[in-house]
Structure 1
Amino acid sequence: MAGVSTQENGDGDPRRAIELLWGVPGPPRRGPKPKLATADVVRAAVALADADGIEAVTIRRVAEQLGVSPMSLYTYVPGRAELLDLMIDHAHGELATIEDGLGWRAALTAIAEDQWALFHRHPWLLQVTTSRSALGPHSFAKYEQELRAIDGIGLGDVEMDAVVSLVTGLVRTTARSSLDNARLVRATGLTDAQWWERAGPVLAGIPAADAAHFPISSRVGQAAGEAHNAAENPAYTFRFGLARVLDGIEALVTTRAAERPPAS
């Protein structure tokens, strides 16, 4: 999100992260039985990120939440990068299973809406890089469900992957705008409408910025502002954009079906 740092999580030990994600036991340890489970550490880290942002998730802070020493936390996770991988997969476990028989368009819409809600529950998901995340069972299930929604509709495998990236990318981008706007309201104490009440008269008093010089932007900006009571409405943009993306996919699938030679 704007003004919030992105957290890199691709520099950990991928082997150990994958083992933890899939429940592969590590080497046997001597000493007393551990007081916690790895899942306890992950839940505490997620709660901390939800409350204070991803920057708050450090080994020391998570250990404090659990009432243990920072060094003892390394019994459960090798480091912060691997912990971020576990947190991402844990969050993906909240995604609903889309019922069969919806049709590909309704299924993709349900998937996108569910992910939009997930980002709003866990804004820190937009602050972590995912291109090198160690894939766990919930992240695999997420991708499988996204692909299953469009399997067999006439797209090639590479195109299916691209469609999933297109839809999930739209969700991420618009959710980021939505959360940025909410963060600005909290930080300034002003809604968009209140901010424009202050800025609008100043702008109106500048001759070079009047409608005569910028007729289209003035007309469209006024219409959008009146419709949304704000400069922008990320939720509207998300749903409008999703519908247009699905229209494009549907047009491609229809064209492919028309070009397919009849079965002999």
Structure 2
Amino acid sequence: MLVWERPEPPNRPVPTPLSREGIVRTAIRLADADGLDAVSLRKVAAALDVGPMRLYGYIDTKEELLDLMVDAIYAEVRAAGDDWRETLRSHAESVRRAAHRHEWFADLIGRRPQLGPNALASGEAVAAALKAVDLDAVMPMAAAVNAYVIGAVRREISELRAERATGMDERGWQVSLGPYLERAFATGKYPALETVVRDAAHLDADETFRSGLECLLDGIGKRVG
């Protein structure tokens, strides 16, 4: 029986009351502070001031704990709108915001199908928004948006982590690599790339995400039409 369907053990008020929800909240707090390396059944038990064996029955494995953590964050994801485009845009931007609030979330989404109740509710909202679309196209369209969001937020989170690790922001990185690019472009081997780098608009992270998402939604719109 999956963890979503398995009942919790009877509540024991002493020495420390436990619940699956409380265990997951504690794990999320640890992950928010120090990343997924800070999460294990032993570390969560220590944070709750109980022995690790107390957690079994509520959660059997670390994989179950990670699944529960992901589903808890899906409760923060909203997909709302008057049509399929608004709903998919809302869903995508909401997932992105959740990933920036909980950076570890970006490491886990897309790893395997998420079947917890909050993830299913999110999927239901997306599927309902696409109800006018050819049935066989619903899953590929939803998967395309999810793939875009997952790729975009993982890149953004990786850049943030690199910035914290090196102390160098995007502007500093550009300055440091500028002389190298000048030498590379001077060879004449990369004329198209040189034009893009020199003359195209340089968007910030928010603008880049939204621009790419609109391109994807335009393509879906043609399919829907």
In structure 2, relative to structure 1, the CA distance for the partners of 1:97 and 1:196 (3 Å cut) is closer
Deviation string 1:30-61 (CA, Å, 9 cap, x unpaired) is 99686111100000011111111112211111
Question: Secondary structure of the equivalent of 1:167?
Answer: helix
Deviation string 1:142-195 (CA, Å, 9 cap, x unpaired) is 10011111111xx22231011111011111111111111111111111112112
> Which one of 159, 179, 193 corresponds to residue 201 of structure 1?
179
Q: Is the 8 A contact 1:17 1:134 kept in 2?
A: no
Structure 1 unaligned segments of length 5 or more: list them.
Answer: 1-14, 255-264
Task: Kindly provide the amino acid, as one letter, of the partner of residue 56 in structure 1.
Answer: A
In structure 2, relative to structure 1, the CA distance for the partners of 1:31 and 1:217 (3 Å cut) is closer
Q: Is the 8 A contact 1:174 1:234 kept in 2?
A: no
**Which residue of structure 2 aligns with residue 213 of structure 1?**
189
In structure 2, relative to structure 1, the CA distance for the partners of 1:132 and 1:217 (3 Å cut) is closer
Pairs aligned (count): 225
**Which residue of structure 2 aligns with residue 6 of structure 1?**
none
Question: Secondary structure of the equivalent of 1:213?
Answer: coil
Which structure's CA Rg is the greater one?
Answer: 1
**Which residue of structure 2 aligns with residue 41 of structure 1?**
23
Structure 2 unaligned segments of length 5 or more: list them.
Answer: none
* Structure with larger RCO (C-alpha < 8 A, sep 6+): 1
Q: Is the 8 A contact 1:175 1:234 kept in 2?
A: no
**Which residue of structure 1 aligns with residue 102 of structure 2?**
122
Percent of aligned pairs sharing the same letter: 34
> Which one of 222, 227, 240 corresponds to residue 211 of structure 2?
240
- CA distance in structure 2 between the aligned counterparts of 1:143 and 1:37, rounded to whole angstroms: 26
> Which one of 14, 18, 31 corresponds to residue 4 of structure 2?
18
Task: Kindly provide the amino acid, as one letter, of the partner of residue 121 in structure 1.
Answer: R
What's the TM-score once normalised by structure 2's chain length?
0.88
**Which residue of structure 1 aligns with residue 130 of structure 2?**
150
In structure 2, relative to structure 1, the CA distance for the partners of 1:126 and 1:106 (3 Å cut) is same
Point out the structure with the larger helix share.
2
**Which residue of structure 2 aligns with residue 9 of structure 1?**
none
What's the TM-score once normalised by structure 1's chain length?
0.76
Q: CA RMSD in A?
A: 2.5
**Which residue of structure 2 aligns with residue 8 of structure 1?**
none
**Which residue of structure 2 aligns with residue 111 of structure 1?**
91
